[in-house]
C-alpha cells in the first residue's frame, strides 16, 4: 500500500467542535470522525467524515447539505461513518441516496473478513482444524452448505444440524463423495454443540445452543441478526467478523485510529465491488477472493476478531 495514495484533510479542532457537535433529543450527536480521507487513485474517493447542519433545519436535505458539499469538493461518492446506519435518520439517509451518495454499511466488510478471521482465531486458540470436532448449525441453508464444502477437506470431524433432513442427507453424502468425510446429522443441537470445539452458526444462533457451548469453543456467527449483544458462556469466543487494519507505515503518518483504518477498508470495499453492499449474497468463495484482493492492497486482520 503506497502512502502517497492517501490524502488526509482535517479541519481545525475548534471548528470541528463548533460544526460537528449538536444535540438531538437531549443527546449529543456528532460524526465519529473528524476529517476526510480519500484514495487519490481510485475514482470516487472515500470520505470518512464531514459535517451536518444543526437539527433546527427540519428538511433532511438541508441538514446534510454541508456534508454533500464537502463530498463534492473531494469527488466522494461513498460515505463511511462509524455506525453510520444508526447515526443518520431515515430521512437523512434517503437525502444522501437521492444525491448519489452511498452510505457504507458495516455488514459487507464483516462478511468479507469473517472466514479469514475464523481461521486466524482458530490458530490463536490453538485449535487444529483436522483434530477439532466441528458443528455447522443451519447446515441446510445455502450459507451452511458453503461452509461445509469449504471446510470439508480440512477437517476429520464435522457434524451437521438443521431443519431439513433431506438437504442434510444430501450434504452429508456429498461430503463423503468429495472428501471421504463422514458428517453425521444431529437432532439434539445442545448435546452436539457441547461436544464440539468449533461451532459455525450459518443461521441465527439459538440462545440455548450458545448456553451449551463449553469453555475453549470457537463460535462463528455468520448471520446479521447475531451482531448484537449475545450471552457468551465463560471461556467461549464469539466471533462475528474481523477487525481490518492498515500497515503502520500508512496509518501512522496519517494519524489513523483503529476505527478509522476499519472505515478506510469499508470504503475500499465499496469502491472495489458493485456487489459489496449485499456481500452475504455473494458465494463464500467470492467473498474470500475479495478479501485476498484487500490483502494484496495492504489490509490485514488484527488479532482477536470482532
Q: For the structural domain made of 108-239, what CATH number should be given?
A: 3.40.50.720
Cα-based distances in Å from 216 to 30, 138, 159, 196, 271: 39, 22, 18, 10, 38
The set of residues, in sequence order, having a beta carbon less than 8 Å from that of 7 and lying 6+ positions away, is 37, 38, 40
What pLDDT score was predicted for residue 50?
Answer: 47
Cα 242 to Cα 245: distance, rounded to the nearest angstrom: 9
Give me the phi and psi of 300, to 5 degrees please: -150, 170
What pLDDT score was predicted for residue 179?
Answer: 95
Buried b (16+ CB within 10 A) or exposed e, 214-224: eeebbbbbbbe
What pLDDT score was predicted for residue 39?
Answer: 42
Give the cell for residue 59: 428538511
What pLDDT score was predicted for residue 96?
Answer: 83
Q: Where are the domains of the chain?
A: 3-103, 108-239
pTM (2 d.p.): 0.77
Buried b (16+ CB within 10 A) or exposed e, 33-46: bbbbbbbeeeebbb
Give the cell for residue 206: 439459538
pLDDT digit string, tens, across residues 196-247: 999 999 988 888 888 899 999 999 999 887 666 667 778 999 998 888 988 7
Spell out the per-residue pLDDT of the chain, length 306, in tens. 433 334 333 333 333 333 332 223 323 333 333 334 444 444 344 444 444 555 445 677 776 777 777 667 656 677 776 666 666 778 888 888 888 887 777 888 889 999 999 999 999 888 888 888 999 999 999 999 999 999 999 999 999 999 999 999 999 999 999 999 999 999 999 999 999 999 999 988 888 888 899 999 999 999 887 666 667 778 999 998 888 988 787 777 667 778 778 877 887 777 676 666 677 778 999 999 989 988 887 889 986 555
Cα-based distances in Å from 83 to 37, 159, 194, 237, 263: 17, 36, 34, 23, 10
What pLDDT score was predicted for residue 267?
Answer: 75
pLDDT digit string, tens, across residues 249-269: 777 766 777 877 887 788 777
Q: Residues 104, 80: contact at Cβ < 8 Å?
A: yes
Number of C-alpha atoms within 13 angstroms, CB side, residue 283? 8
Amino acid at each position: 500500500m503506497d502512502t502517497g495514495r492517501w490524502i488526509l484533510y482535517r479541519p481545525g479542532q475548534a471548528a470541528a467542535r463548533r460544526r460537528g457537535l449538536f444535540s438531538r433529543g437531549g443527546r449529543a450527536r456528532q460524526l465519529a470522525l473528524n476529517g476526510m480521507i480519500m484514495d487519490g487513485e481510485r475514482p470516487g474517493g472515500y470520505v470518512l467524515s464531514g459535517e451536518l447542519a444543526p437539527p433546527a433545519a427540519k428538511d433532511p436535505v438541508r441538514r446534510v447539505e454541508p456534508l454533500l458539499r464537502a463530498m463534492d469538493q473531494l469527488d466522494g461518492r461513498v460515505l463511511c461513518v462509524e455506525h453510520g446506519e444508526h447515526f443518520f435518520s431515515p430521512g437523512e439517509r434517503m437525502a444522501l441516496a437521492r444525491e448519489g451518495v452511498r452510505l457504507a454499511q458495516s455488514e459487507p466488510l464483516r462478511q468479507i473478513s469473517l472466514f479469514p478471521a475464523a481461521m486466524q482465531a482458530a490458530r490463536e486458540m490453538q485449535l487444529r482444524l483436522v483434530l477439532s470436532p466441528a458443528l455447522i448449525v443451519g447446515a441446510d441453508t445455502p450459507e451452511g452448505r458453503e461452509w461445509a464444502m469449504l471446510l470439508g477437506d480440512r477437517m476429520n470431524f464435522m457434524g451437521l444440524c438443521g431443519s431439513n433432513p433431506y438437504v442434510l442427507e444430501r450434504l452429508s453424502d456429498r461430503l463423503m463423495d468429495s472428501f471421504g468425510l463422514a458428517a453425521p446429522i444431529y437432532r439434539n443441537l445442545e448435546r452436539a454443540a457441547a461436544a464440539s470445539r468449533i461451532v459455525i452458526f450459518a443461521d441465527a444462533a439459538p440462545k440455548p445452543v450458545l448456553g451449551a457451548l463449553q469453555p475453549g469453543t470457537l463460535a462463528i456467527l455468520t448471520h446479521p441478526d447475531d451482531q448484537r449483544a449475545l450471552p457468551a458462556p465463560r471461556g467461549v469466543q464469539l466471533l462475528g467478523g474481523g477487525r481490518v487494519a492498515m500497515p503502520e507505515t500508512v496509518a501512522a503518518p496519517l494519524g489513523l485510529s483503529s476505527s478509522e483504518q476499519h472505515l478506510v477498508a469499508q470504503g475500499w470495499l465499496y469502491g472495489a465491488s458493485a456487489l459489496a453492499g449485499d456481500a452475504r449474497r455473494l458465494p463464500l468463495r467470492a467473498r474470500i477472493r475479495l478479501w485476498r484482493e484487500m490483502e494484496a492492497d495492504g489490509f490485514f486482520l488484527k488479532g482477536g476478531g470482532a
